[in-house]
Chain A
């Protein structure tokens, strides 16, 4: 492993800016690392070697010309395959988009380029971001660098595994029900879901529009904050984007790193601190709570009674939106087309294309959502779920009148063995039990490594009020300063 691949993004940017290394060198080191380990990990669906080196050269040229460089110039980044990248394959982990090269860049991808980061390639994910283990990728599962027989979480298992395997110092994920935070927790990395509307969805292939939130993944809280700052902020092409500046997450991460949480009041969610989580996870979580107390935080218990309805509400809202969002994949304009041999009707071709192109979990959710939105069932399912969503939002609002931020384990269990939960969707859905309420509310949440249980990483989740993303970075950075970072066994 090259020395450059173990550095943080902040360190790499400083080395590049100071001329101690070049962006090309850094990029090549990561490309070499990918070549060496990705056969085992399978974090990437596509590695854009030429594009990455060209972008790196451009950064080096800008530096040579004395042009100002951004805080992440020359830092490689891996992008979840859910974001449209101009001319670079974008599959969303699905056969139905195999071979599709978008004619445009997602806003976040544009901002990554503008910030001088170097896109290494596209990372693996559960098909259409539906899953918690990356096992539902149509291109095979990603493996957890901590134990190659275990899942790296999902849907963004590729992004988090790439970080844990030192294939990239930064990655982009998207979080609809926990797809950034849960993989972060089980790979011992940091994953932040920004406030909904705080990062642009333009170019993010939609799963559930009212929940999807792209965000940063990194190995340290400061790196996540730096990436958050680079990609966040208002985008006029996304109507749900919030027209306000990004909270100062970098300053908050730096403040937290001083290890002082005096005056900060944190709430443990009663409903998530008892049953439902593995004993090992709860034990590590309690140790982390002690650490936070030692840093000066005041800890209280806060009840959020409706959080227990979050999972069922989520599994009505997200499938409903997905059933509509995924209608456009019909073989007419892009991606896979099956059965167009001149003998079949258009309807048959659409139907065959969707049958062949979508995997079982995607079909399950399309059917669930189609049913939930049908005339006669709408009020009982979709309508009722929206009411639950309102109640969950009220729980959060009431909680944030008492405390600055809420904390919980990120996920009820550590990385499970590949294949252990694929036969029972409900067992799989439970992985997001603790992360889903935040998505329904729209606030920010971050998962930060807080310890190991049987040698596998456990994450602590910090949840903050909408547009108070800085608060969660401060708490996460403080905890990180106390418990340190966690390195998986060598591959």
Chain B
């Protein structure tokens, strides 16, 4: 499309966005939602299957209690009410990677309802309403082969892997979020980030967007101030935190251009394009399937014992917001500094680096400096930049021990990120250790003095500050590997200053 998009500032000046998010989380339970098959990632296709998750005739589901427990804990962490009685429902539609051609999900009787999650954007707290948290099963995966596009149309064969079929999923649906104005994209991102951190703190999922254990659909609509909410679109294929923000923004721009041209927004599913950052239409919801939901007759209702729910609530871990406040205090950071740590997605990384032995200041310096820069350059999340908190702590340890100076440490880090090994290994293999052997250095110092007699004279006459020029010369001949402090001391000693 060649239509010129309006500017973002212009759009938010004229329209009010309403957003909503539906998030799917794959639970890290040992077994699947309704059978005893293992959930571990990466098995050969169709090896983690049984009659139940293959939907063979006659097989029956049995609810995984660990999944119910995990869902209740998520609900409690999101301040939801836990239903004292709820049911599963069948969502009926045909799709080859769905073994039974219906999905066991929850419909009008979800396990957790009516909660909220507070997120911080630009130092302000925004309360996101949670409509519901419910359980369902994942589908298999279809691979279309033979076609040029790798998509279903034009493919000559479709291969289905049912290993993922039946993995427990939790769906978390927000209430519509109006009133965020120009901050809508950041609010969406902050919500997904906070949700991810909450779920991770509960230890119920590894919530990795790039591996699909956290998946997000973004609903967006625009309306004129004072008017009713507009028609919403649902954007799928949003696979990173950055994409959440981009998807909302691009959908706001696209809808504004349609509305500006006098058009109507179609209620539809759209797909986020990672490369271009815009959204493309998928299947239209106006002609969408009637899912013919009805209560799942193969399962009995779930009635969680209130005493059990109270126990789970009492045992909830410290939630990320509280945890962060405590860390901020421990690290002695201002609100502004803490915000930049948060924005960089570095809280946990710094925490782990400190736990591995670095000072908070040093840990923050590495993650917000060199490593954030690299993450931005390569377009990955900080956590995936290629260095672990342990490695960063080890690197800092080498600096503290005087084996690396700052410049050398950055070079070593480059090697670590490139996968050359631990900081110590990289330092050794690249021969980057600071030269502090005074015998070798003395020769270099003498050489520098001989080459710069006038500077040497100045120093001898007491102008100690001139030593810097000689230090620079020595550093040059030692390719930066000398310890500057030692060099300076040697120069002064040789010249009797």
Contacts and interface: CB of A to CB of B under 8 A. Distances in A.
Contact of B292 (A102, A240, A374): A374
Given A210-B297, A240-B298, A324-B102, A205 B292 contact: no
Nearest to B294: A373
Interface string A303-333: 0000000000000000011011001111011
Nearest to B88: A239
A320 B57 contact: no
Given A83-B58, A202-B59, A202-B60, A373 B297 contact: no
Contacts of B54: 333
A334 interface: yes
Interface residues of B, number: 31
A328 B61 contact: no
A378 B89 CA distance: 14
B355 interface: no
Contact of A328 (B60, B99, B294, B300): B99
B94 A350 contact: yes
A102 B96 contact: no
A161 B438 CA distance: 104
A203 interface: yes
A321 B298 CA distance: 10
A378 B294 contact: yes
A485 interface: no
Interface string A67-109: 0000000000000000110000010100001001011101000
Mostly helix, strand, loop or mixed at chain B's interface?
A: loop
Contacts, number: 103
B90 A239 contact: no
A239 B102 contact: no
B152 interface: yes
A385 to B, nearest CB: 11
Contact of B56 (A83, A102, A347): A102
Interface centre among B92, B100, B101, B293 (most CB of A within 10 A): B101
A208 B55 CA distance: 16
A382 B293 CA distance: 11
A236 interface: yes
Interface string A228-239: 000000001111
B62 A236 contact: yes
Interface string A32-55: 000000000000000000000000
A148 interface: no
A206 interface: yes
B121 interface: no
A205 B51 contact: no
Interface in A214-241: 236-240
B333 to A, nearest CB: 51
B231 to A, nearest CB: 19
A97 B58 CA distance: 12
Given A239-B299, A328-B55, A320 B294 contact: yes
Interface of A: 83-84, 90, 92, 97, 100, 102-104, 106, 201-206, 208-210, 236-240, 320-321, 323-324, 327-330, 332-334, 342, 346-347, 350, 370, 373-375, 378, 382
**Across the A-B interface, the 10 shortest Cβ-Cβ residue pairs:** A327-B101, A209-B297, A373-B292, A210-B297, A84-B58, A203-B58, A205-B57, A328-B100, A375-B290, A205-B58
